[in-house]
Structure 1
C-alpha cells in the first residue's frame, strides 16, 4: 500500500500533518490541539501515523497490528484501546470526523489534511520486529514504540555531510530522549491496571465475601504476571462507576486501565459481568457476561484474567501457568467457597473469636479437598492469631501441627511460608521468622503481610526506622488496608506515642467503619490516654456492631473508674463468657469483684483463673514482660509474696513495655508493703508516658499517696487495654 498524497512537511526531512485544529509532528513525536500538547501512549501515536500516511484509505486491522505491534499474535483489543485514546485526544468522539471505523475490517483516516509549502512525501512505516516488541511491552517502556522517519532519499544524502545537519540530528535525538523520559514520568505504564472490588448483586449481603474474595484472587494473580503493573489493592469501590470515576482512578493510581465486575450467585449458578476500561478516555475496551455453573468459577476467573493480559500485553506471558494456578487453588467450588469464608474471618481475627470461625471454615474446605494447601496454611495462621490475640497456649501447639501439615502439602506456597513465619515469630525465633517472611515475599499475594511481619519484628527489637520502612512498603501495596494502619497504631501505643496511636486507629476506622475490632482498639487507646468520654463512645460503637470480649472488658474498666462496680462486674463476666482464655479479662474481673464488698469473696477464684492462663502462655512466650508483671500482680493478690518478687524482677529484666510493666509492679510493691520501691516504679511509669489519671486514680496506689499525706480523689486501677490485632 502506497502513502497517501496528503502527507506534508514544512522543512526538508520533516513529517508533519495538520487537520482541523490538530498538528501531528512525526519527528518530534507530538500531537497538539490549538497549540496545546495532547498526550497519548506511544502505540496509539504509531497507529495514528499509519492512518495518516494512508489517509483516505482503509487500513485493515491485521496490517495495523503488523505495522505497530510487529506480529498478529495479539488481541484486537489492544488496537481498539489505541483507537479509543486517539478519539479522545483528537476530540473525535460521537460522529467521527477524523477516524472512521469499518467494523470487523479496519480503520480509515477521513479528515482533511492541510498542505504546507515544501511538503515532502514520507515513507510508509515498516512493521515492528516481534523480537523487539515483546520485551518492550513487558517492561512497559516506549522505546520500541518509536517509529523513526523513513529513509532519506539518495538525492538528499549529501545534505548530511555538512556539520549543521549532524548537530540538528543530535539535538533531535536529545529531544527525543527527553520526550521519552518526560512521558515515563507523567504517563501511566501502558500495561497497567487497577482491580476494583467486585460488587455483589445477589440479594444476600452475607455473600459479599464471595465477590470480594474473587477480586482479591484476581488482583493477586495479575500482580504475578511479568510486564503488568498492578495498582495497590483497593478496599472499596467508588460511589459511581462512571467514566469520570475511571479517569480519576487512572490519575490517582497511575494506571492505564481499570477492571471491575459484578457477581450474582444464585444457587449453583454464578453470573459475572466483567469490564475493562481505558482511564484516559473512560471508554470500555471490552466487557463480557459469564453465566456459568458455580463449579466453573475457576475457569471463568482464568478466562477473564487471560483477556486482561492479552489486552495489556498483546500475548499471554510464558508464566501463564502460574496465573492459572493462583486462580485455581482447588477444583472444588464448595471447598473454595468455604476457604473464602475462612479467609474473611481470619482477616478480621481479633476480639470476637473470629480465628476460631476461620478454622471451622478452613476445615470444611479441607474435608472436601484434602490437598487444598492454602486452606491448611490458613488454619496455621488462624491458630497463631489465636495464640497471640487471646494468649491461648493450647492454640500454639495446634498451630505447630497445622503448619507442618501445610509445609508437607506445598513448601513453596507463599501462604505456607507466611504461616511458618508467623509461627516462628510468635515463638520469639526472629531469625527464622525473617527467613520465612523473606520467602513469602516472592508471592505477590503474601508480600504485604510479609512486609508487616518484618516490620513488627523490627519494632519488637527496637528498630523503629526499619519497622516504619516495612510498614510503608506494605501500605504502598495495600493503602486502603485498615489492619496495617491499626498495626502501626499498636506500635505507637506500645512505644507510648499515644497521639500517633490514636491518629492511626482513627484512620483505620475511617477506612473500615463497621469493623468491631478496630473500634474496640481505638477505645482501648483512648482509655489509656485518659480520654474517657471518647473511649466510651468508641467501645459502645464496637459493642453495638457485635459484642466482643475486648470492648466489653475495656468498657467494664470505664464503669469501674466511675465507681459503678456492679455494672463493671456484669460487663467483665460477659467478656469472660465470650473468651475465657485471656488472663487479662480474668484479672480485670477479679479487681472489679474485689472492689465491691458484696462480691469481694469471689475475687480470689478469678485471680486464680488469671494465674493459670498467664502461666500457660508464658510457657511458650516467656519473654513477654507485661504478662510476667501481670502474673506477679495476680500472685501478690493470692498471698504469694516470694513468687511475686521473683516475677517482678524477671519482668523488669526483660525490658519490654516499660510503662505497663512499671504500673503493674508499682501495685505489686504496694501490696508487698515496699512503698518507696512502689514510688520509684510510679516515677518510671510517668517517664514512660503513662497518663496521670491512671496513676492518681488507682485505688492500690492510693495507699502510697495516703502514706505521704496526699490523698487522691479518683478511685481506679492499673489498666492495660486490649488492643490486639488479627491477620493483615
Structure 2
C-alpha cells in the first residue's frame, strides 16, 4: 500500500483515510475509491468510462453519479484538484508525494512516525551569480536522494525552491508545513575546490541537531553528496536498507567535470532563444566528449539541437541525439520527451504524443517532460492539457520563463482573460528577478517584452524591445516575439515588418504550426499582408515535408 501527500492532505489507501493536518475528513466509500483511483493514475487523463468501470464494476450507473462524486471531492479538496478535460474526462492535478509503505526486514524496523523533511535551496556563497546552477544542482540532488528513502517524507523540489533567495524562519515554516526537520546549507565553489556547509534543524525547536562543513576537490563531488545524504539519514535515526543505499549512490555519470558541464547546459536550455540553445548544445557536447555514455546529456543535446533547428534552420534536428540517449537508457524520461519534441518539430504528432505519455508515466516531476508535453499540446490545439503541463512546469522550476509566458496563450484561447494578466505578471516578476542579476539576459528581456505587451504597457514594452535587440541582434526567435508584442499593442505595421524580416530565417515546418496557433497574432489574421506571409510560410513547410 501507499500513502499520498498533496498540499495539506494525506491519503492513506491502506487505512482508507483522508486526513488534513492529522484530522480525518468524512468521505463516502465511492468517493474515496474514486479519489484513490484518480491519484494513482494522476499522470494521465482518465475517461469517464474508465472511472465508472473502476468504481462501479459490473454495475450500470448513470454518468450523473460520476458528476456528483467529482463535485463532492472538489468541495473537500478545492476546485482545482480535479481538472475537467473537455471531451476527454478528468485528471487529478495537484502535486503529489507518494510514499510506499514497505515492511522492513526483521531486525530492521524503522521508527513508526515518518520524519517530514524540507530541504531549503542551498545558498550560493561564491560571490558569482553564475554559480547558482551549481548550488541549485546540489540542492536538487540532496532532495532526490532523500526521496529515495521510503521512511522519509520529503517536500517536493517545486515547493522547496519557492524558498530560494528568501529569509526563512525555520521554526515557523516547520509549524506551517507540519515539518519535523529542515535541511539548510551553502555552497562555495572556487576553481576545482568546493566547500559545502550543511545542517539538519529540528523543526520543533529550530536548533541544529547535526551540522558539518565539507571541503573537497570537485572530483569528489559525488562521494560528497552521498556523505551529506547519509549523514542526514543517520541524524534522523533512519536506517537505510541495501536497495536504498544503492539508489542513493547511483549517478547519471561518473565524471564530475561532465556533470558540471551538464548542470550549466541545463540552465541554458530552458531559455528558448538561439544564443542559449547554442550555449546549451555546446556545453552538452563538451560533457559528452568527456563521457559518451551520459544519457541525460544526450537528451539535453537533442532538445537544444531541435530548438536551434526550429529557430535558425540548423541542419541537425536532434533525432540522432535523442535516439542515442534512448539506446543508453530506454526508460529515461527526458530522452523520451526529447525525442517527442523532435518528432513534433517534424510534424509527426501522433508518434510524439505516444512518447510524451511514456515520459510522463516515468517522471511526472521532470521540468523537461512537462514543458515539452505542454508545447506539443499547444501546437495541436489541446489547450487545457497544455495548461496542466505548463503550469506544472512553472512549479517545478523557479527559473522557468518559457512555460510561465507560453501558458498565457492557452488561457486566452479558452477565454480566461484574468488568467492571461496573472501569468503576464508572474512572467514579469521572474524576468525582473533574473535581470537584477544579469541585465543582459536576452530571454528574460524578451519574456518581459511579451508580458508587458499583455499588460498593455506600451512604452515599457518598446523600451525593453530596444534593450533586447541591442543585446542579441538578429535572433529570429527574439524578432518573432517582438512582432507578437507589437501585434498585441495594435502596432500592426511594426509587427508585420518584423515578421517579414524574421520568418524567412526560421524552420518553416515548426513555425507554420506555431504561427497558426499563436493567438498573440490574432489582430493580424484578417490583413492581406499577414495572409501572404502565412501562405509563403506554409508553402515552404510543404516543400520541406515533401
Q: What TM-score does the superposition give when structure 2 sets the normalisation length?
A: 0.65
1:671–1:534: structure 2 CA closer, same or farther, 3 Å change rule? same
Q: Distance in 1 between matches of 2:469 and 2:514?
A: 30
Which of the residues 351, 355, 364 maps onto 1:436?
A: 355
Q: The residue matched to 1:370 in structure 2 has which SS? A: coil
1:492 aligns with 2:416: no
Confirm or deny: 8 A CA contact 1:494 1:657 kept in the other structure.
no
Give yes or no for the alignment of 1:535 onto 2:461. yes
Aligned to 2:497: 588
Provide the C-alpha distance between the structure 1 equivalents of 2:385 and 2:486, rounded to a whole number of angstroms: 36
Counterpart-to-counterpart distance in 1, 2:395 and 2:278: 30
2:317 paired residue among 379, 398, 401:
398
Give the superposition deviation at 1:529: 6.7
Deviation at 1:339, TM superposition (A): 1.4
Asked if the contact 1:192/1:312 (under 8 Å) is kept, the reply is no
Q: 1:410 to 1:435 in 2, by over 3 A?
A: same
CA contact (8 A) 1:256 1:280 kept: yes
Q: Please state whether the residue corresponding to 1:292 is helix, strand or coil.
A: strand
**What CA distance in whole angstroms lies between the structure 1 residues aligned with 2:524 and 2:480?**
19
Cα-Cα RMSD: 4.1
Query: For 1:88-487, what aligned pairs fall within 5 Å after superposition?
Result: 144=112, 190-233=114-157, 234-240=161-167, 245-312=169-236, 314-317=238-241, 318-325=243-250, 328-347=251-270, 349-351=271-273, 353-388=275-310, 390=311, 392-394=312-314, 397-441=316-360, 444=363, 447-474=366-393, 477=396, 481-487=400-406
User: Do 1:231 and 1:477's aligned partners in 2 also have CA atoms closer than 8 Å?
Assistant: no
Q: Deviations over 1:600-652 (max 9, x none)?
A: xxxxxx5xx844x45xx23x44861736xxxxxxxxxxxxxxxxxxxxxxxxx
Alignment gaps of 5+ in structure 1: 1-38, 41-128, 138-143, 146-189, 569-583, 592-605, 628-655, 673-728
Determine the C-alpha separation between the residues in 2 that align with 1:346 and 1:487: 16
Aligned to 1:120: none
Does the CA contact (< 8 Å) of 1:220 and 1:444 recur in 2?
A: no
Q: Please say if residues 379 and 514 of structure 2, whose CA atoms lie closer than 8 Å, have aligned partners that are also in contact.
A: no
Query: Which residue is equivalent to 1:72?
Result: none
Deviation at 1:273, TM superposition (A): 1.0
Task: Please state how far the C-alpha of 1:378 moved relative to its aligned partner.
Answer: 1.1
2-side partners of 1:288 and 1:258: how far apart? 15
Q: Say whether the 8 Å CA contact 1:197–1:260 is kept in structure 2.
A: yes
Specify the structure having the higher radius of gyration (Cα): 1
Moved more, 526-535 or 378-387: 526-535
Q: Is the 8 A contact 2:195 2:213 kept in 1?
A: yes
Is the 1:197–1:236 Cα contact (8 Å) retained in structure 2? yes
In the TM superposition, what whole-angstrom CA distance separates every residue of 1:661-704 from its partner, at most 9, and x where no partner exists?
A: 672452249989xxxxxxxxxxxxxxxxxxxxxxxxxxxxxxxx
Distance 1:313 1:464 in 2: 47
Distance 1:518 1:201, change over 3 A: closer
Residue pair 1:486, 1:518 contacting (<8 A) in 2 also: no
Among 392, 409, 434, the alignment partner of 1:514 is 434
Count of aligned pairs: 420
Q: Quote the residue 2:74 is aligned against.
A: none
Partner of 1:626: 515
Q: Please state whether the residue corresponding to 2:434 is helix, strand or coil.
A: coil
How many Å separate the matches in 2 of 1:659 and 1:269?
A: 48
CA-CA distance at 1:419 after TM superposition: 1.6
Change in 2 beyond 3 A, CA 1:193/1:424: farther
Structure-to-structure mapping, 1:568-607, within 5 angstroms:
588-589=497-498
Residues 351 and 548 of structure 1 are in contact (CA less than 8 Å); yes or no, is this contact kept in structure 2? no
TM-score (normalised: structure 1)? 0.50
